[in-house]
Structure 1
Amino acid sequence: MVNHLLMIAADLENITALQPQGGCDDPNFTYYFKLKCGNCGEVTQKETCVSLNETVPSAKGKGDVHLSQKAEGTKFNDIDLSGGEFAEYDEKGECPVMISNLRAKFDVVK
């Protein structure tokens, strides 16, 4: 059986998360993310693996979550990336937010 891996990369400014609208219907689908510290700017060497069928206890003790990371900010919904980029001003955070240089490619994995 051949699996196809969709790899997506983008430059994010003042944005903590990028995900498909509605996510993926397959609970076994695995997302891999390299994370960048908002304080020091260090990027993780290894990818962080997240899937819908795996949960961990919430840091605040209010149920289970798929990934627990400390992050703050405004959530933007319905972002159209068909043009390859997105830019707006986050009034709550009082800073510009931007997604640019969006790249995607499919790889065949076995």
Structure 2
Amino acid sequence: MARYLAKTRTLVPDALRRWCDQMGVMELPEATVRNLECTLEGITRRARYQLDFTVNGLQFRGKVSYTDDRCKYKMRLIWPNGAKGPEITSVAELSAALAGDPG
């Protein structure tokens, strides 16, 4: 279990890097990583992490999950008032979200 946890924790920056590539962000931001879950159920291993990071002055919160060797991630914009914003997967979505900024 400890080995699996260590392995998935090294994959967290990879998910963040992939998202940054989609967004055209050149430099990987510093992220605070929190372990939400790490379990072994029979032969299925699962780990989930929460990331908090800032890009160009905008705050984001991400969830990264791994089941065996499959990785999924969601990155959300966090408004200045602390409310959860929309999931952001492209520059166009970010622009649309910022145009309708409630905060």
TM range (shorter): under 0.3
Judging by fraction of residues, say which structure has more helix.
2
Q: TM-score, normalised by structure 1?
A: 0.23
Higher relative contact order (CA 8 A, sep 6+): 1
Judging by fraction of residues, say which structure has more strand.
2
Q: TM-score, normalised by structure 2?
A: 0.24
Larger radius of gyration: 1
